[in-house]
Amino acid sequence: MAAHPEEFAARYRAAGYWIDETFADFVADRTTRFADRTAVVGVDAHGTPVRWTYAELAAAADAAAARLAGAGVVPGDRVVLALPNVVEFVAVVLGCFRAGILPVFAQPGHRETELSQFCAIADAAAIVVSGDTDGHDHRALVDRVAERLRAQGVEPPALVDVQQWPRPGSSEPRIHADPAHPDLGTGRVGVLRRSGCAGSTSSEGLFAPGRAEEVAFLQLSGGTTGVAKLIPRTHADYLYSVRASAEICGLGEETVLLVVLPAAHNFAMSSPGILGVLHVGGTVVLARDPSPRTAFRLVAEERVTWTSLVPPLAQAWISSARRRTPDLSSLEVIQVGGARLSDAVAAEIGPVLGARVQQVFGMAEGLVNYTRLDDPDELVLTTQGRPISPDDEIRIVDPADPDEAEVPDGEEGALQTRGPYTIRGYYAPGGADDPVNRDAFTADGFYRTGDLVRRLPSGHLVVTGRAKDQINRGGEKVATEEIEGPLLARPDVLDAVVVGLPDPYLGERICVVVRPEAGVRSGPDLGAELTEHLRASGLATYKLPDQFEFLDQFPVTHVGKNSRRDLRRLLAARLSDE
Ligand code: OOB
């Protein structure tokens, strides 16, 4: 796993981007400084409403850390979190930070395919779930994950179920009462236990928390291959993006942020997100479900000032607000990002929802672009913003050129980036030489985003397309390989190609084009059977196909590979005929 070369690190320190603050310091400082202010509003894992001051949040974080310790987790360990938007999520994240445990930010929609990969790659000591969530038994899910890992010879993680914790507010164990881990909660711990990252040049110190330039947690990459990629973010790099984001967005103690998107996502976490709000002493309101009804009620009740949406949710808010005329008078800014917001929808947000729009084009690997609050409307409504940092380096290259020459100013090309909060490599077994890193990073350390963009003279980027094998389904990223793999394993499927089709609501929907074996009856029944197969294979719920099409022959490229582009065209023609 490549770190930033010293020459760059020195520059980022000198510029004041990287400072000597860890997440343990951050939590200790903010929860003390803002002790009596309201930090978190939401429901717990049982659905009971909870309000925590910063002091209460600190206590809940300590209690969560103690529970992880009780499950055998020690500082330096990685712990996979797959929680819905409940208050325990914030407590566990902050508890990990205080205890020097590294969270791996999974989603409650992930299933055994994803979770077992995250556990294996991160060598996770525990997995934290909310037992019975949205109609799915997550305890049984963790059992299946353990089974898979055992079959691969990997030690399974301990199960931690927040639904089995005492309810927030009931008497909590104090962290210092745990004699086995006297340093937990002090941020002064640096114990290494499990094997660490095999690809690092020196595993010594990699997981030593308490040092700002060490890895603090692992985020997930949207993914372009069948194998998961974990993103190592350091205290220094991430906290820089948090501070800078809070400043660009003008957050303050009076900010009330409504978190509608999955809380563990990078957008909800840090752009400026939960951490940006805790940085300045504001209030985080968690919506347990993303429906406009729940969101509108919370906006009115909590006088929410700020929220972050993906484009389909922005559309849902607009159509719902037209019918119900909710009280959204407290809302100042609605951020939209994660997928391309159409200029038409962008233009409706202000008039219908009564808030200013901010477009956000970011990635868990690092780079985040914002339209600025004082940008002219023209830029706010038609661009995806400009980078956070003056030291974010942007290179726009010819995607068809093997030498990756830069395109002339203003022309479309593939976006590459490097900077103070963009990783130099994934957390991969082979380190810098691992194939995932060789494909995703250039020799001089730029991350190949796979996005096609155009840059305006102002520095604002317009996202024009994509050059990666990924579908962006309303902000949720799915690698085509993840779906194709399990389907190709079936004897009745000769070939399968997954393509994203334009969708007025999702932006793109997942279409699987199947070429059945000779004699296999295709049609809706086969589609339903294949969906069931994917579900049973343990694929995340949000990756299940929206649509199946059956073809006897696939268009191929000149080198004989299936052509996704021609397939997409063929389907568009076929669907418009119907
Ligand atoms: C955010 O992060 P990820 O890691 O889930 O996905 C990153 C990818 C980008 O490479 C791009 O393909 C797409 O999502 N994307 C957008 C976009 N924002 C993200 N495409 C078009 N327009 C946009 N506004 O999605 C993420 C991370 C931090 C903040 C916001 C979003």
Span 46-53, average pLDDT = 97
Q: What's the 222 CA to ligand 1 centre distance in angstroms?
A: 9
Q: Are 83 and 129 in contact (CB under 8 A)?
A: yes
Measured from the Cβ of residue 195, the count of other Cβ atoms closer than 10 Å reads 8
Co-location of 480 and 367 in the same domain: no
What is the signed CA dihedral for 51, 55, 58, 59, rounded to 10 degrees?
-80
Residue 574's pLDDT is: 85
Span 149-163, average pLDDT = 97
Measured from the Cβ of residue 106, the count of other Cβ atoms closer than 10 Å reads 28
* Structure confidence by residue, pLDDT tens digits, 332-364: 999 999 999 999 999 999 999 999 999 999 999
Nearest CA to ligand 1 atom 6: 363
Q: How many domains, in total, are found in the chain?
A: 3
Co-location of 485 and 454 in the same domain: no
Q: Where in the sequence is the domain holding 175, given as residue range(s)?
A: 22-35+46-187+197-232
Q: Is residue 4 part of a domain?
A: no
Q: Residue holding tokens 């199947």?
A: 514
Reply yes or no on whether the pLDDT at 388 is more than 90: yes
- Mutation choice for ligand 1 from 477, 506, 543, CB with most ligand atoms inside 8 A: 477
CATH of the domain at 458: 3.40.50.12780
Among 416, 440, 466, give the residue marking a domain's end.
466
Co-location of 226 and 98 in the same domain: yes
Span 243-259, average pLDDT = 98
Among 441, 466, 491, give the residue marking a domain's end.
466
Co-location of 455 and 566 in the same domain: no
From the number of C-beta atoms within 10 Å of its C-beta (0-12, 13-18, 19+), residue 170 rates as: exposed
**Which 3 state secondary structure label does DSSP give 493?**
strand
Q: Are 484 and 521 in contact (CB under 8 A)?
A: no
Q: Which residue has the higher pLDDT, 397 or 206?
A: 397
- What tokens appear for 182 in the block? 């006297």
Q: Which residues contact 455 (CB under 8 A, 6 or more apart)?
A: 394, 396, 409, 410, 461, 462
Reply yes or no on whether the pLDDT at 7 is more than 90: yes
Q: Are 64 and 145 in contact (CB under 8 A)?
A: no
Nearest CA to ligand 1 atom 22: 340
Residue 95's pLDDT is: 98
Torsion angles phi and psi, residue 80, rounded to 5: -80, 125
Nearest CA to ligand 1 atom 20: 339
Beta strand spans in 364-506 (E)? 366-370, 386-387, 393-397, 413-418, 447-455, 461-466, 470-473, 476-479, 493-503
What is the distance in angstroms between the CA of the first residue and the CA of the last residue of the chain? 50
- What tokens appear for 91 in the block? 């407590």
Binned at pLDDT 50, 70 and 90, residue 488 comes out as very high
> Can you tell me the distance from the alpha carbon of 507 to that of 342, in angstroms, rounded to the nearest whole number?
9
Residue 203's pLDDT is: 36
Q: Which of 135-139, 302-306, 554-558 has the lowest mean pLDDT?
A: 554-558
Q: What's the 286 CA to ligand 1 centre distance in angstroms?
A: 21
What is the signed CA dihedral for 168, 172, 176, 181, rounded to 10 degrees?
-80
Reply yes or no on whether the pLDDT at 190 is more than 70: no
Co-location of 309 and 226 in the same domain: no
Q: What's the 441 CA to ligand 1 centre distance in angstroms?
A: 18
Average pLDDT score, the chain: 92
Co-location of 407 and 515 in the same domain: no
Ligand 1 closest atom vs CA 384: 24
Query: Side by side, which strands form the sheet with 126-129?
Result: 158-161, 126-129, 78-82, 102-105, 215-220, 230-234
Q: Is residue 270 part of a domain?
A: no
| ipTM at complex level | 1.00
pTM: 0.93
CATH of the domain at 178: 3.40.50.980
Q: Is residue 238 part of a domain?
A: no
Q: Is residue 10 part of a domain?
A: no
> Can you tell me the distance from the alpha carbon of 557 to that of 543, in angstroms, rounded to the nearest whole number?
26
Residue 169's pLDDT is: 56
Co-location of 449 and 530 in the same domain: no
Q: What's the 321 CA to ligand 1 centre distance in angstroms?
A: 26
Nearest CA to ligand 1 atom 21: 340
Q: Which residues line ligand 1 (CB under 6 A)?
A: 222, 266-267, 271, 337-340, 359-364, 368, 384, 449, 451, 463, 466, 472, 477
Span 237-256, average pLDDT = 98
Residue 225's pLDDT is: 81
Q: H or E segment at 140?
A: helix 138-151
Among 440, 466, 492, give the residue marking a domain's end.
466
Q: Is residue 14 part of a domain?
A: no
pLDDT above 70: percentage of residues in the chain? 92
Nearest CA to ligand 1 atom 3: 363
Q: Are 548 and 538 in contact (CB under 8 A)?
A: no
Q: What's the 58 CA to ligand 1 centre distance in angstroms?
A: 31
Task: Give the pairing of strands 447-455 and 78-82.
Answer: unpaired
- What tokens appear for 474 in the block? 């309303």
Q: Which residue has the higher pLDDT, 183 or 226?
A: 226
- Mutation choice for ligand 1 from 451, 461, 469, 478, CB with most ligand atoms inside 8 A: 451
- Mutation choice for ligand 1 from 363, 388, 471, 543, CB with most ligand atoms inside 8 A: 363
Co-location of 459 and 501 in the same domain: no
Q: H or E segment at 306?
A: strand 306-309
∠ CA 35-300-287, rounded to 5°: 65
Co-location of 372 and 484 in the same domain: no
CATH of the domain at 558: 3.30.300.30
Ligand 1 closest atom vs CA 475: 25
Residue 295's pLDDT is: 98
Reply yes or no on whether the pLDDT at 187 is more than 50: no
* Structure confidence by residue, pLDDT tens digits, 324-334: 999 999 999 99
- Mutation choice for ligand 1 from 114, 271, 342, 361, CB with most ligand atoms inside 8 A: 361
* Structure confidence by residue, pLDDT tens digits, 94-129: 999 999 999 999 999 999 999 999 999 999 999 999
Ligand 1 closest atom vs CA 271: 29
Co-location of 441 and 405 in the same domain: yes
Q: Is residue 260 part of a domain?
A: no
How many helices and strands in the chain, by DSSP H and E?
17, 26
* Structure confidence by residue, pLDDT tens digits, 157-185: 999 999 999 876 555 444 443 444 433 33
Residue 226's pLDDT is: 76
Span 256-270, average pLDDT = 98
**Closest by Cα among 163, 193, 162, 212 to 61:** 162
**Which 3 state secondary structure label does DSSP give 518?**
coil
Task: Give the pairing of strands 283-286 and 333-337.
Answer: unpaired
DSSP structure class, residue 154? P
Q: Is residue 316 part of a domain?
A: yes
- Scored b (16 or more CB within 10 A) or e, 465-483 reads ebebbbbbbbbbbbbbbbb
Nearest CA to ligand 1 atom 8: 363
494-498's contacts with Cβ under 8 Å and 24+ in sequence apart are 494/518, 495/554, 495/562, 497/554, 497/562, 497/564, 497/567, 498/471, 498/545
Co-location of 452 and 571 in the same domain: no
Co-location of 309 and 389 in the same domain: yes
User: Hey, which residues does 382 pair with through a beta bridge?
Assistant: none
Where do the H-state alpha helices sit in 20-122?
A: 23-33, 54-70, 87-99, 112-122
Q: Which amino acid is at 88?
A: E
Residue 446's pLDDT is: 98
DSSP string of 367-394, one letter each residue: EEEE--TTS-HHHHHH---EES-TT-EE
Q: What's the 339 CA to ligand 1 centre distance in angstroms?
A: 6
- What tokens appear for 69 in the block? 């310790």
**Closest by Cα among 113, 105, 103 to 141:** 113
Binned at pLDDT 50, 70 and 90, residue 248 comes out as very high
Q: What's the 92 CA to ligand 1 centre distance in angstroms?
A: 25
Span 135-163, average pLDDT = 97
Q: What's the 551 CA to ligand 1 centre distance in angstroms?
A: 32
Q: Is residue 246 part of a domain?
A: no
Reply yes or no on whether the pLDDT at 265 is more than 50: yes
Q: Which of 49-53, 247-251, 389-393, 520-524 has the lowest mean pLDDT?
A: 520-524
Where residue 344 falls (left for φ over 0; alpha for ψ -120 to 50; beta otherwise) is alpha
Binned at pLDDT 50, 70 and 90, residue 240 comes out as very high
Cis link prior to 312 (omega < 30° from 0)?
Answer: no
Residue 85's pLDDT is: 98
> Can you tell me the distance from the alpha carbon of 357 to that of 349, in angstroms, rounded to the nearest whole number?
7
Sign of CA pseudo-dihedral 262, 263, 264, 267:
positive
> Can you tell me the distance from the alpha carbon of 365 to that of 415, in angstroms, rounded to the nearest whole number?
13
